[in-house]
Amino acid sequence: MLEEVTVIWSEKVKDELVLDGNDIELVSRSAALINQKCHVKNKDIRKFLDGIYVSEKGQIVEEE
């Protein structure tokens, strides 16, 4: 992972990774690197459904 980005295994959802960091560019670049490494090659993606999928995008805002 890139500096200042942490990866957390989600306790609520099985097989979910949560990327956390202060710099939105580093976090999104880390997510893109993970997505590129898990890209399915030489398979018919209509039938081969294994891989990595984005379930939610956004910023986490703590309420004061």
Task: Give the DSSP per-residue string, 25-47.
Answer: HHHHHHHHHHHHHT---SS-TTT
34 in a structural domain: yes
Render pLDDT for 25-58 as a digit per residue (tens, 0 to 9): 999 999 999 988 887 788 887 777 777 777 888 7
Expressed as residue numbers, the domain containing 40 is 1-49
**What is the average per-residue pLDDT within 1-14?**
89
Q: Tell me, what amino acid is at 8?
A: I
CATH of the domain at 19: 3.90.930.12
- Give the number of domains in the chain: 1
Give the confidence band of 61 by pLDDT, cuts at 50, 70, 90.
Answer: confident
In a domain, 60, yes or no: no
Assigned domain for 58 exists: no
The predicted pLDDT at position 7 comes to 94
User: Token digits for 54?
Assistant: 């984005």
Instruction: Output 59 or 24, whichever has higher pLDDT.
Output: 24
Residue 55, domain member (yes or no): no
Task: Please give the pLDDT value at position 48.
Answer: 74
Flag whether 64 is in a domain. no
Amino acid 21: pLDDT: 92
